[in-house]
Amino acid sequence: MTPEAPALILPEKSRSIGNDLRRKLGADKVKDDFPTITAYSVDASIYKVVPKAVVQAETEEDIAATVAYAMSSGVPITPRAAGTNLTGSAVGEGIILECGRMNRILELNVEERWVRVQPGLNLTEFNKKLEPHGLMFGPDPSSRDMCKLGGMLSNNSAGPHTLRYGSVKDNVHAIRAHLAGGAWLTAEALADGDPATDALLKSHPALGETVALVRKHADLIRSKKPNVSKNSTGYNLFGLVDGLDQGIVDLPKLFVGSEGTLGVISEATLKLVERPQTTATALIHFRHLEEVGQAVFDLLPLTPMALEVMDANTLNLINRSAHGVPADAAATLLAEFDGGGTDFKSVPIREILDRVRAICRKYRLCEDPTVAVEKEHQEQLWKARNALYPTLYRYDAKKKPINYVDDVVVPADRIAELVQYLSAFFKGQDVNVAIFGHIGNGNAHIVPLLDVNDKRDFEAMVAGYHEIHQAVVTRFKGSICGEHGDGRVRAEFVRKYFGEELYALFTQVKSAFDPARVLNPGVKISDTPFTENIDYVRLSKPCATCGKCNSVCPVFDVFQTEDMSSRGWFEIVTAPGYEYLNSKRVVEACVNCKSCRTICPAGVDVSDLIMQKRAEHPNKLAGSIFAWQGQPWLFEPFIKLMGRTQGLWDRPLPRKVLEGALAPLLHRLASTARLPADMVLPRLASRLLRERYAPLTEEAGHRGPVAYFHGCAANYFQDGVGDAVIAVLRKNGIEPVLPRQKCSGTPIETYGHVERVKDCARFNVESLFRYDTIVTGCASCTLSLKDSPKWFEGEERKRAEAVAGKVRHISEYLAGEGLKSAPTRPCRKTVTYHSSCHLRAAGVSKPPRDLLKRIPGVTFVEMRDADRCAGGAGTFCVKDYDTSQKIFERKRAAIRDSGAQVVATSCPACMIQLKNGLRGEADVRHIAELLLEAYE
C-alpha cells in the first residue's frame, strides 16, 4: 500500500459504522446523525471532510475498543481534541475519536513540578487549576482558550511564550498512547542500553523498529535537521537522534507532533513552570520595518518571555485606528518581560522596563512605547494579537484569510528580510496579506486574503504555496512549519522539504506503527495535493471556525461536544443539508446567552442565526402564552391571583401535584421542559409594580425626561428590583416615568415568534422616543432595546436607533452621569458580581463593578468565571432544567471559592437562577437593591 492511500471504506460498512460502534460502546458515546457529522466535518483549517461517525471517548477502554474496531473493519480513525488546528488534521472520513470528555488532572506534584493529565483538558482551564499552586504549563498557543492538551501534544504546539519555555516537546515527561496493534505504550525518556529499555523496545515491535532505523540512519537524520529554533514538520526523528547521542531513548519526542498518525494519546505527564510573579508588556510601534530585526536583538539579552510582531499590512487589515495603532507604524512589536520570579529575582521589572525604554530610544518609533503592568491593561494589549486570524475575517465579505503558508520559520536574524521578501511576493500577486508571528523565534504566520472560489486567487494560492515554501527552504534555510503541524495542508511538501531518503524513513515509521493506515490517513504522511478537500462553500461564509465561541458557550461547557457548541451550530444551520427537523435537538439547545456574539473576533452572531432558524418553526404553546400575556386585562389578574395565593400553592405537596399536572403541557414547549417541585420560584406580585407606583405611570399623566423601562419581570415579580430602581433614581433626584410598554421581546424571540417581537419593538420605540434617557434594570431588556433597530428599515430604523442610543442600564446610568448623591451607609460585606450575559452583550461590563466598589464598606471580590452564563437564560431554566443546573455548577463553585457573602447581579432573570442554585449559600441581590441599602 502506498503511504498516502487512505483506508478503504466499503459502502455497506460505512452505513453500519455507527451501529457497530454503538453496540460496542453504548448509544450515548456514538453519534452519526446529521448535526453531529456536520459539526465534526470541519476544524479551523480550510478543509471539510464528513465523517461516518463520532465517538466521544470517556475511558481508555473506549479508545481501545474504537481502535480495535477501526483495525478490524479498515475504517480510518481521526483522534480529535478541540479541533482548532489550522491544517485539517482533526477531520477525517471514517471515525472521529474525540477525547474532549477525558479532561481531568490525574495527578499533580507541586514540589517536583509535574502533572499527569488527560488529553481533553483545555489549556486555559488547566492553567486556572494550576494557578493556586503558582504553576503553569509553559507553551501557550494563541488559541489557549479553545485548544486542548491532546491537540497541543499531537501538534507540538507553541506560542508567544515559546521564547522562554520552548514548544510542547520540551515540556513532556511521558505519554501514554494506544497503538494500532492493540497495545498500550507508556513512552518515556529511557536510558539507552538499559535492560528495561530493551525489554520495552522488544515488547513493542514498532518502537523497536523505529529506534533501530534511527540508529542506522543517524547521520542522514542529523544532516537534515532543520537549523531553526522550532520545527513541527515531519516526525521528530531529530529529537530521537539527539537523545541517543546523550544515551537516552527519548520516546515522547516521537509522539509529540505526530498528529494522531502513530497512536491515540490517553494521558501525558507534563513539566510545569513557575508562574511569573510580575510581568509587563510593552507595545512598540516602529516607523521602519527594517529596524525591528535589530531592536529584537537588542531586546533579547533582557530575556523577554515573548516577542511578537505584526506588519503594517496586518495592522491595516485589522483596522489599525480601532486598536490605537499610529497611522505611520510600519510594524508593531509586543514584548513581554517578567520580574521577581526565581530565575530573575535580581532584576526588578521596573529596571527591565527602563532598559526597554532606553533601547527603544535608538529607533525611529511613532511614539513612546506603551507599557502595561496591570493584568487587565496587558490583556488589552494582547487582545488584538491573540485574535488576529479570526479578526481578519471581518475585512472582506469574499476575500478570507487562507492558511496555506501560515507557519514558516527562518533564522531569527532574517525575519525582517523574510517579511520584505513576502511583501514583495504578494505585491507581485496583487494579494493582500497579513504577516505576524513569534519574531523572537523567527516564526512568521503568513495569512493571505483570497477568494478561493475565484480562479485567479486560487491560482495565486497554488503558486504561492510552492514558491514561498521553496524560498523558505532554499533561500532562508528555514522550516515550513514551526508549530501548527503538517496536517493535510503541508503533507504534500514534507517529502520535498526533507528529500526522498528521510521521507522514506518517515513512511517506514508510519508503516511500523500503522501498517493498515487507519490512523489519520491523509495527514502528515501523504502525497495528496493540498487543494484536495478544500471547503469552498465555507470559505465564503463569515465564520473562521476558530472555535473561540466554544470557549464561552455554556452548552458546550456541559456537553464538551462539537454538535452541542456554538461553532458546531454555525456549521450545522448553514450547511446545505440543514433542516429544522434533522437538527431540532441542537437548534433548540442554545440558551441564547449571546456570549458567542460578545466574543467572536469575526463579528458572527451564532445566536441570531439560531433564532432565525427557530423563527421558521415557532413554538405553538409559547405563542399562545405570549398572546395571552399580550392581553393584560386577561393575563395580569392571573398573575395577581397566583401572587396572592402563592403561600398556598408554593409548598412541597401542591408543587409536586403542579409538577405532574404541568408536565404534559410543558412537554409541548420542549421534551426536556419541567418545573420541578423543589425549584425556588420568584415571588409573584399580588399588586403589580405599575399599580404600586401608579402615580409614576404615563397613564396617570406623569411626565419627565427619564423613563424607567421596567420590563415584565420587575412588574410581575415582587422581588424588590423595580422598587429599588425607582428608589435609587429618586435618591438621585429623578422621579422616573413608567412609560407604556410591552415585553422587550427576548423571551418571545427565543421561541421563534418574530412578528410578535417586532410588534412589541414597534410599540416600545414609539412609546420611548420622547424621553431623553431610558433606564432599565434588566439585562435582557437593555440588550433588546439597544438591539431593536435590527427589526426595522428606513425611518422606523432611525427612530429605533435614536431610542437605542438613549437606553442605559441602571448601573451604566449611575456609574456615568446619574449618580448625584453618593451612598453613605456602610455595607460591610464581601460582594462579588455575576456579570449577566445580555448586559455584557450590550457592552456593559465595567460600570456595575465600578458602582459596587463605590458602596462604602463593600469589599469587592472578582469571582472566577464572573463573565460566564449561569444557565438561567430567561425561561431556559424551565425549558431544560437539568442542563440549566449543570451549567450552574460552574457558577456555584466560583461563588463558593470567591468567599463572597453577597452575589450582586444586574438582571432579575439571573436572580431566579442564582437564588434557586445557591439556596441561601450566599445572598443574591440586584445591584440597585444593594445601592438602596447604602442610601437608607
Ligand X SMILES: Cc1cc2nc3c(=O)[nH]c(=O)nc-3n(C[C@H](O)[C@H](O)[C@H](O)COP(=O)(O)OP(=O)(O)OC[C@H]3O[C@@H](n4cnc5c(N)ncnc54)[C@H](O)[C@@H]3O)c2cc1C
Using CB positions, name the residue nearest to ligand X.
Answer: 151
Contact partner at residue 472 from ligand SF4, ligand X, none, CB < 5 to 8 Å by partner kind: none
By the 8 A CB rule, do 703 and 724 touch? no
Q: Binding to ligand X by residue 309, rule CB under 6 A?
A: no
Binding mask 372-411 for ligand X (x = CB under 6 A): -----------------xx---------------------
Task: Name the binder of 80 from ligand SF4, ligand X, none, CB < 5-8 A by kind.
Answer: ligand X
The correct pick among 29, 48, 52, 80 for binding ligand X (CB under 6 A) is 80
Cβ neighbors of 853 (< 8 A, separation 6 or more) are: 860
Q: Which does 389 bind (CB under 5 to 8 A by kind): ligand SF4, ligand X, none?
A: ligand X
Binding residues for ligand SF4, total number by CB under 6 A: 28
Of ligand SF4, ligand X, none, which one does residue 99 interact with (CB within 5 to 8 Å by kind)?
ligand X
Q: In the bound complex, what is the minimum distance in angstroms from residue 838's beta carbon to ligand X?
A: 26
**Candidates 74-82, 206-214, 853-861, 908-916 — which segment interacts with ligand X by CB under 6 A?**
74-82
Report if residue 909 touches ligand SF4, rule: CB under 6 A.
no
Query: What's the burial of 28, exposed, middle or buried (CB within 10 Å: 0-12/13-18/19+)?
Result: exposed
36 versus 157: smaller Cβ distance to ligand X: 157
Q: Which of 144, 169, 253, 567 binds ligand SF4 (CB under 6 A)?
A: 567
Report 384-443 residues binding ligand SF4 (CB under 6 A): 390
- From CA 914, how far away is CA 901, in angstroms rounded? 13
How far apart CA 745 and CA 494 sit, in angstroms, is 55
Task: Dump strand ranges (E) for 738-842.
Answer: 773-776, 807-809, 830-833
Neighbours of 404 (CB within 10 A): 24
**Among 217, 445, 594, 829, which residue interacts with ligand SF4 (rule: CB under 6 A)?**
594
Cβ proximity to ligand SF4: between 164 and 890 the closer is 890
In angstroms, what is the minimal distance from the CB of 879 to ligand SF4?
12
Q: Of 41, 66, 73, 157, which one interacts with ligand X (CB under 6 A)?
A: 157
DSSP 817: I
Q: Which residues contact 68 (CB under 8 A, 6 or more apart)?
A: 182
Burial class (CB in 10 A: 0-12, 13-18, 19+), 181: middle
| E runs forming strands in 785-926 | 807-809, 830-833, 859-860, 902-905, 923-926
Ramachandran area for residue 691 (φ above 0: left; ψ -120 to 50: alpha; else beta)? alpha
The item of ligand SF4, ligand X, none sharing an interface with residue 570, based on CB under 5 to 8 Å by kind, is ligand SF4
User: Do 51 and 90 touch, CB atoms closer than 8 A?
Assistant: no
Segments of 297-396 assigned E as strands: 306-311, 331-339, 370-372
Q: Which of 573, 598, 596 is nearest to 586 (CA)?
A: 573
**Segment contacting ligand SF4 by CB under 6 A, of 52-60, 438-446, 506-514, 590-598:** 590-598
Contact call for residue 566 and ligand SF4 (CB under 6 A): yes
Residues in Cβ contact with 89 at an 8 Å cutoff, skipping those fewer than 6 apart: 43, 45, 78, 154, 155, 259, 260, 485, 486, 487, 488, 520, 523, 524
Q: Check binding of 752 to ligand SF4 (CB under 6 A).
A: no
Return the number of the residue (447 or 552) whose C-beta is nearest ligand SF4: 552
Nearer to ligand X, 105 or 615 (CB): 105
Compute the least distance from the CB of residue 44 to ligand SF4, in Å: 8
**Of 154, 595, 629, 746, which one interacts with ligand X (CB under 6 A)?**
154
Question: Judged by CB under 6 A, does residue 99 bind ligand X?
Answer: yes
Residue 143 binds which one of ligand X, ligand SF4, none, with CB within 5 to 8 A depending on kind?
ligand X
- Which one among 590, 726, 734, 768 touches ligand SF4, defined by CB under 6 A? 590
Q: Which of 770, 777, 786, 782 is nearest to 705 (CA)?
A: 770
Cα dist. 662→490, 626, 630, 675, 878 in Å?
A: 58, 17, 22, 8, 11
Question: Judging by DSSP bridges, how do beta strands 53-56 and 273-274 pair with one another?
Answer: unpaired
Closer CB to ligand X, residue 409 or residue 863?
409
Q: Which of ligand X, ligand SF4, none does residue 834 bind (CB under 5 to 8 Å by kind)?
A: none
Q: Which of 37, 90, 237, 555 binds ligand SF4 (CB under 6 A)?
A: 555
Task: Pick from 62, 93, 259, 336 the residue near ligand X by CB under 6 A.
Answer: 259
Bridge partners, 319 (sequence order): none
* Residue 606 binding ligand SF4, by CB under 6 A: yes
Contact between 549 and ligand SF4 per CB under 6 A: yes
Q: What residues are paired with 122 via a beta bridge?
A: 148
Q: Is 158 an interacting residue with respect to ligand X (CB under 6 A)?
A: yes
Residues 6+ apart with CB under 8 A from 655: 649, 677, 678
Indicate whether 747 belongs to the interface with ligand X (CB under 6 A).
no
Query: Which of 558, 627, 622, 620 minimizes the C-alpha distance to 590?
Result: 558
Query: β-strand 184-191 against 95-98: which pairing, if any?
Result: unpaired
Residues 28-47 that bind ligand X (CB under 6 A): 43-44
332 vs 607, which CB is nearer to ligand SF4? Answer: 607
Q: Is 91 in the site for ligand X (CB under 6 A)?
A: no
Task: Tell me, residue by residue from 121 to 150, as one string, x for binding to ligand X by CB under 6 A and - for no binding.
Answer: --------------------xxx---xx-x
Q: Determine phi and psi for 111, rounding to 5 degrees.
A: -60, -45
Residue appearing with cell numbers 477501526: 70
Is residue 265 a contact residue for ligand X (CB under 6 A)? yes
* Category of 478 on φ-ψ map: left (φ > 0), alpha (ψ -120 to 50) or beta: beta
Query: Which option in ligand SF4, ligand X, none does residue 596 bind, with CB closer than 5 to 8 A by kind?
Result: ligand SF4
Give the whole-angstrom CA distance, residue 611 versus residue 465: 40
Closest CA to 515 of 209, 149, 170, 731: 209
Contact 822, 794 (CB under 8 A): no
Report the residue from 21, 201, 544, 778 that binds ligand SF4 according to the rule CB under 6 A: 544
Residue 162 contacts residue 412 (beta carbons within 8 Å) = no
Task: Considering the complex, state which of residue 545 and residue 832 has its C-beta at the smaller distance from ligand X.
Answer: 545
Q: Which does 520 bind (CB under 5 to 8 A by kind): ligand X, ligand SF4, none?
A: ligand X
SS3 state at 438:
strand
Q: Which of 73, 84, 314, 565 binds ligand X (CB under 6 A)?
A: 84
Pick one of ligand X, ligand SF4, none as the site partner of residue 569 (Cβ within 5 to 8 A by kind).
ligand SF4
Q: Does 625 bind ligand SF4 (CB under 6 A)?
A: no
Q: Is residue 596 a contact point for ligand SF4 (CB under 6 A)?
A: yes
Q: Which pairing describes strands 95-98 and 306-311: parallel, antiparallel, or unpaired?
A: unpaired
For 108-153, the DSSP string reads EETTTTEEEE-TT-BHHHHHHHHGGGTEE-S---TTTTT-BHHHHH
Q: Which residues bind ligand SF4 (CB under 6 A)?
A: 390, 543-549, 552-555, 566-567, 569-570, 590-596, 600, 602, 604, 606-607
Q: Which residues bind ligand X (CB under 6 A)?
A: 43-44, 78-86, 89-90, 99, 119, 141-143, 147-148, 150-152, 154-155, 157-159, 259-260, 264-265, 389-390, 483-484, 520, 523, 546
